[in-house]
Structure 1
């Protein structure tokens, strides 16, 4: 157990162990705001090396803005030893002690920076704090742009495959975060006891902090999902082209993220498959977001519609009557004559003045349902569908007849010599590259070449189809 307790874990091994101690004390809000300020100034200034004096000044300036007396009181309650007029030094020492800040020597001066692991943690926390509003269109378009750059120039833009996969995974994680955030907002709204609190929670957690910047465009003409088809098509095209994957692998080797072609090919294929898988399966997450949004909006609509019934005008009068009774000198056993609102001032004159039970509804009469003959146009439409499906169906027999007709007794045939005159020929020609995997593998074999075959229907890699030699005996 001792060995396990002291062994560095892969997830936390590089993070300073006391990093989160500043967030577990009474001064946690002070340190959180201070770290956010330091991330912008001085550590957010491009090209500036922050000396220890510069960091001291930044901390002191933050304390002055926060109110020195308030900060000193907060730090004293946290047990931080302070010297009069030098509270910024104690704060600096606390950040250095817990691992947020690190000092280095730059010739004759001391420079300060965030610890590398601490910087990653801080910026991740800031992204969580500020990154709730995000553009779907920007994320989708970023993946599409990266894939298209790889498709147009796989040699010099090969590294964009990895960036596209990272963006796709981040996009899917954001979708899951949005769905979870929406459910949490829904739970918070449903827990509110009054209409005013419910409306206030709706405004603060659902309108002012929208998790999707362009949510209203999801079903508009400018929907970001209009690029999804292009992403899937481009990803599949790259996966199907061995030559392009080889060129991307060469780019990875040249870029230093793979040792050789063999080590690069499988990660490239995995990244492309990940992109296709993400954008092929986002419908369920979007549907979850839209369903939760509909429930929240329906609840708010009901609140607005029935708010006048939740607090009627008679409430004030009832409360006033109860106050008058409490302040009166009546004994507990005394009776009070109350004129009921529904009390009749005169006797009923006719039966119309008396309460009567609601009339029973008459049962609906039975009727015969007339069966209409099927529409002749519909029958012809269904027959046309069956004929079209039969026309485009690819069977081993039909494929073999096409091959034999093209060979015309020859033992082999180039791809450019196969006839592609109509849609039936096109579909059969497209299936030829699968012949070696199908039921025709025992009769034919395919040898792929380096060139391309182009006709009015398709452009694809050239091949040579030949009959297999039959072994007798």
Structure 2
């Protein structure tokens, strides 16, 4: 089924006519006034009044369709109203003696989608990442009540990815427009208006400099999605709630859909850093290219050509004034380059004498120091696997909980492992069960809320 089988093609006639700017303004006005929330059905006179307000705008007063032959002010709004009704944008319903105006479902859906598309072009990228993070966390903590947050977070993630992709496509479009500039002044004007003010300052630079940079939420979102994907019980509860709402045929389909949504969110944020690096490199390359172009155009001006033009203009001015025996103004033109005026070659450079390179002595203390620094850096590179390996030697096998406040680090690596464990490195590990404790025991190394860890039965 094509989308034109659902959306009538007549709706596009007013959007593609010669007066489409005026028609779009009329549609936006009546949609915002009456049909955005659809609190009540307006009367025909009320819709005509809104159309009249748009037509009185000086920007649209002289705009008309090809078949509108100088319509009088009294009938202009009626003509536009009739076009809206004939094309299917509005429909009239008789309610006793009054005529109420409704917007059909297909027209309402199309206009809502177009307005939403306009809003997506100015999306707040920073706020979207924060909403995704809080939505995933709420869904994991309460899968039965907040299961719809997963689908909403997936839509917001896709919207965020499209917005960031839009920054890159805008850079390519700006590059094409800049390269088609007529001159240096036009080039600088377009660069300042489009590249600096509209794109980077409003979108990308605000994104990078804001405290709500999406990279700030990247680790939290990835951790929560992985925790959700590895928790079969929470996914089953969420799938059961989704099936109870009859949004999917069965629980199995709901589980597949939830897993796909969470995987999509995780993959988008996993590749987010690479996408931002591409934008950084391209924007830097574009700035360098503009700077090089401006510098070349400023230094590439041929002063002799300008003097030659001025001399020719002066000669024609003298001839026009009747001075046919004027002295040529071209006598001060420098001698052109030729084989006779080229400079003589310089004296050949003296050959470089060979020298013997002395091998540099390597101090064993420097070698040992580098090895110790490398060993320390490798030891302090604490991963989730390293945290789990260390916890296996600390947490007992009897199934009881172990309080991390009782963990006494034996080295700097143990301190780093304790810090990562408190930061949530064990949360996504199915081998361990984590619980928060209200008690706060003093710890000499890493302080924080109480955290209890124990091994799960049957997990090794």
TM-score class normalised by the smaller sequence: 0.7 to 0.9
Q: TM-score, normalised by structure 2?
A: 0.73
When residues 385 and 216 of structure 1 are mapped into structure 2, their CA distance, relative to the original with a 3 A threshold, is closer
Matched ranges for 1:278-427 at <5 A: 278-302=268-292, 305=295, 308-309=298-299, 317-329=307-319, 336=328, 338-340=330-332, 342=334, 355-358=343-346, 366-367=354-355, 368=357, 370-373=359-362, 375-382=367-374, 415-416=399-400
Task: Identify the residue that residue 12 of structure 1 maps to in structure 2.
Answer: 4
Structure 2 CA distance for aligned equivalents of residues 128 and 454 of structure 1? 44
Matched-pair contact (CA < 8 Å) for 1:415–1:463: yes
Per-residue deviation at 1:276?
0.3
Matched ranges for 1:206-217 at <5 A: 206-210=195-199, 213-217=202-206
Q: Which runs of 5+ in 1 are unaligned?
A: 1-7, 344-353, 408-412, 436-447, 467-473
Q: Which moves more between the two structures, 378-387 or 29-38? A: 378-387
How many residues of Structure 1 are paired with residues of Structure 2 in the alignment? 414
- Which of 171, 180, 199 is the equivalent residue of 2:169? 180
Q: Which runs of 5+ in 2 are unaligned?
A: 336-341, 419-425, 438-449
Per-residue deviation at 1:339?
3.2
SS in 1 for 2:199: coil
Task: Identify the residue that residue 218 of structure 2 maps to in structure 1.
Answer: 228
Task: Identify the residue that residue 439 of structure 1 maps to in structure 2.
Answer: none
Q: Which moves more between the two structures, 319-328 or 456-465? A: 456-465
Task: Identify the residue that residue 463 of structure 1 maps to in structure 2.
Answer: 457
Matched-pair contact (CA < 8 Å) for 1:134–1:213: no
Task: Identify the residue that residue 444 of structure 1 maps to in structure 2.
Answer: none
Task: Identify the residue that residue 410 of structure 1 maps to in structure 2.
Answer: none
Q: Does 1:171 align with 2:160?
A: yes
Structure 2 CA distance for aligned equivalents of residues 130 and 417 of structure 1? 51
Higher Cα radius of gyration: 1
Per-residue deviation at 1:375?
1.7
Q: Which moves more between the two structures, 28-37 or 50-59? A: 28-37
Matched-pair contact (CA < 8 Å) for 1:80–1:90: no
Q: Does 1:148 align with 2:148?
A: no
Task: Identify the residue that residue 62 of structure 1 maps to in structure 2.
Answer: 54
Task: Identify the residue that residue 23 of structure 2 maps to in structure 1.
Answer: 31
Per-residue deviation at 1:288?
2.5
Task: Identify the residue that residue 262 of structure 2 maps to in structure 1.
Answer: 272
Spell out, residue by residue over 1:255-287, the C-alpha distance to the aligned partner (whole angstroms, 9 max, x if none): 442354333211111111111011011233222
Q: Does 1:112 align with 2:101?
A: yes
Per-residue deviation at 1:55?
0.9
Q: Which moves more between the two structures, 220-229 or 235-244? A: 220-229
Q: TM-score, normalised by structure 1?
A: 0.71
Matched-pair contact (CA < 8 Å) for 1:102–1:112: yes
When residues 63 and 145 of structure 1 are mapped into structure 2, their CA distance, relative to the original with a 3 A threshold, is same
**What value does the CA root-mean-square deviation take over the aligned residues?**
4.5
Structure 2 CA distance for aligned equivalents of residues 360 and 458 of structure 1? 81
Task: Identify the residue that residue 13 of structure 2 maps to in structure 1.
Answer: 21
Q: Which moves more between the two structures, 181-190 or 82-91? A: 82-91
Structure 2 CA distance for aligned equivalents of residues 310 and 37 of structure 1? 53
Task: Identify the residue that residue 229 of structure 2 maps to in structure 1.
Answer: 239
Per-residue deviation at 1:185?
0.9
Task: Identify the residue that residue 440 of structure 2 maps to in structure 1.
Answer: none
Structure 2 CA distance for aligned equivalents of residues 453 and 149 of structure 1? 17
Per-residue deviation at 1:242?
1.3
SS in 2 for 1:103: strand
Q: Does 1:262 align with 2:252?
A: yes
Structure 2 CA distance for aligned equivalents of residues 244 and 393 of structure 1? 24
When residues 312 and 126 of structure 1 are mapped into structure 2, their CA distance, relative to the original with a 3 A threshold, is farther
Per-residue deviation at 1:457?
8.8
Matched-pair contact (CA < 8 Å) for 1:141–1:224: yes
Structure 1 CA distance for aligned equivalents of residues 54 and 293 of structure 2? 44
When residues 452 and 234 of structure 1 are mapped into structure 2, their CA distance, relative to the original with a 3 A threshold, is closer
